[in-house]
């Protein structure tokens, strides 16, 4: 297993990425990691943090795709950037998973061009954890990759999300809820009305019906399915609630769980290898957890199981 981490991604690169690696290595005895980044910037940090170079291999890159750059253009023009090199390694099989807290668009475009969507998957999706009041962890998806969706997409997201929830979050028989504005079947916008029967008849998932905004923090479902526009607005609203709770100096164990660094990053689901996108403000904690997350996705062969599931749909 070789997990590749972009040391140059995120607002605090490469310092926090390298501290995250250090922290991961202290918790895991066997996994080897590759780092891609500026030799000049990273080498002194690897030394300073006494990283065991028997367990971390280093791939030099000479360019960085900045946060504001146009993804497609930047990937094309900066072939020596850490993200471009990362995807090259993923494509050629030199890496099994790729993690970066860099330019989100470049990560999405890079994924699309380097590794394939799983056969049968119409569109890959991205999900975000939704901490439940009772201690559990829900999964909200899509959270922005697919702004406009057709019912068939939401139906597939439910399958992808259920597998992630089972394998990575360890929930045995995850309940799928359709994000809606009413409880009964037939409620909602045209998309929700058309999606409901698909989910109801989908034998690969455990559909429990509609869920509303008020159910997102409760234990009503494990997977909350919606189109990317809605999911992104919900996610950013909840992130903002957490920011506000910090500003208001509220100390509360539950609100603390809205610190998304605890969960690592955002996995792209429905593609053939694990790719995880970190938040720009990722600190060492987030990097450490993203490596754990990628490891879990590899250990459980999540992508293989997704392939198998979608081959049944043919």
| Interface contacts to its own copies, rule CB under 8 A | 133, 144, 147-148, 179, 181, 188-190, 192, 212-218, 226-230, 232-241, 243-244, 247-248, 250, 252, 254-255
Token readout for 308 is: 């198998």
Our CB check for its own copies shows the closer of 117 and 194 to be: 194
CB 239 to its own copies: min, Å: 6
Shortest Å, Cβ 228 to its own copies:
7
- Report in angstroms how near the CB of residue 281 gets to its own copies at its nearest: 12
**Spatial CA neighbour of 281 closest among 256, 260, 258, 255:** 260
CA atoms within 13 A on the CB side of 202: 29
Q: In angstroms, what is the minimal distance from the CB of 13 to its own copies? A: 22
Least gap, CB of 157 to its own copies (angstroms) = 16
* Residue (70 or 307) nearer to its own copies, CB: 70
HSE on the CB side for 235, CA within 13 Å? 24
> Could you tell me the smallest distance in angstroms from the CB atom of residue 181 to its own copies?
4
Minimum CB distance to its own copies smaller for 172 or for 190? 190
Nearer to its own copies, 248 or 314 (CB): 248
How far apart (Å, rounded) are the C-alpha atoms in residues 29 and 132? 31
Q: How far apart are CA 234 and CA 213, in angstroms?
A: 9
Closer Cβ to its own copies, 142 or 155, answer by number = 142
For the bound state, the minimum distance from the C-beta of residue 291 to its own copies, rounded and expressed in Å, comes to 27
* Cβ-based nearer residue to its own copies, 102 or 274: 102
User: Based on CB atoms, which residue is closest to its own copies, 109 or 230?
Assistant: 230
> DSSP of the chain, one letter per residue?
-EEEEETT-STTTTHHHHHHHHHHHHH-SS-EEEEEE-HHHHHHHHHHTT--TTTEEEEE--B---TTS-HHHHHHH-TTBHHHHHHHHHHHTS-SEEEE-S-HHHHHHHHHHHSPBPTT-SS-EEEEEEE-TTS-EEEEE-SSS-SS--HHHHHHHHHHHHHHHHHTS--SSPEEEEE-SSSSTT-SSHHHHHHHHHHHT-TTSEEEEEE-GGGTTTTS-SEEE--HHHHHHHHHHHHHHHHHHHHTT---HHHHTT-GGGG--EEEETBSS-EEE--TT--HHHHHHHHHHHHHHHHTTHHHHHHHHHHHT-
Nearest distance from C-beta of residue 226 to its own copies, angstroms: 8
Give me the least distance between CB of 10 and its own copies, in Å please: 18
Residue number, 54 or 134, with CB nearest to its own copies:
134
Residue nearer to its own copies on the CB measure, 92 or 252: 252
């Amino acid at each position: 297993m070789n997990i590749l981490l972009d040391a140059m991604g995120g607002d605090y690169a490469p310092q926090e990425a390298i501290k995250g690696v250090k922290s991961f290595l202290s918790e895991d005895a066997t996994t080897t990691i590759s780092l891609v980044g500026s030799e000049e910037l990273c080498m002194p940090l690897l030394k300073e943090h006494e990283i065991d170079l028997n367990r971390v291999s280093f791939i030099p890159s000479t360019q960085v795709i900045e946060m504001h750059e146009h993804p497609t253009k930047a990937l094309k023009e900066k072939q020596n950037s850490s993200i471009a090199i990362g995807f090259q390694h993923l494509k050629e099989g030199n890496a099994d998973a790729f993690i970066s807290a860099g330019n989100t668009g470049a990560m999405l475009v890079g994924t699309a061009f380097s590794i394939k969507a799983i056969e049968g998957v119409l569109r890959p999706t991205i999900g975000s954890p939704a901490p439940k009041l009772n201690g559990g962890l829900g999964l909200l998806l899509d959270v922005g990759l697919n702004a406009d969706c057709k019912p068939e997409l939401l139906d597939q997201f439910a399958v992808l999300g259920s597998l992630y929830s089972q394998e990575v979050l360890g929930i045995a028989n995850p309940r799928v809820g359709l994000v809606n504005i009413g409880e009964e079947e037939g409620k909602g916008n045209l998309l929700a009305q058309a999606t409901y029967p698909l989910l109801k008849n989908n034998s690969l998932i455990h559909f429990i019906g509609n869920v509303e905004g008020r159910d997102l923090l409760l234990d009503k479902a494990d997977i909350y399915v919606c189109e990317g526009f809605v999911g992104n607005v919900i996610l950013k609203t909840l992130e903002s609630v957490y920011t506000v709770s910090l500003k208001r100096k509220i100390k509360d164990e539950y609100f603390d769980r809205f610190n998304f660094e605890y969960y690592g990053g955002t996995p792209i689901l429905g593609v053939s290898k694990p790719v995880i996108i970190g938040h720009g403000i990722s600190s060492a904690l987030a990097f450490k957890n993203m490596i754990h997350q990628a490891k879990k996705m590899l250990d459980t062969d999540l992508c293989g199981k997704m392939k198998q599931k979608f081959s049944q749909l043919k």
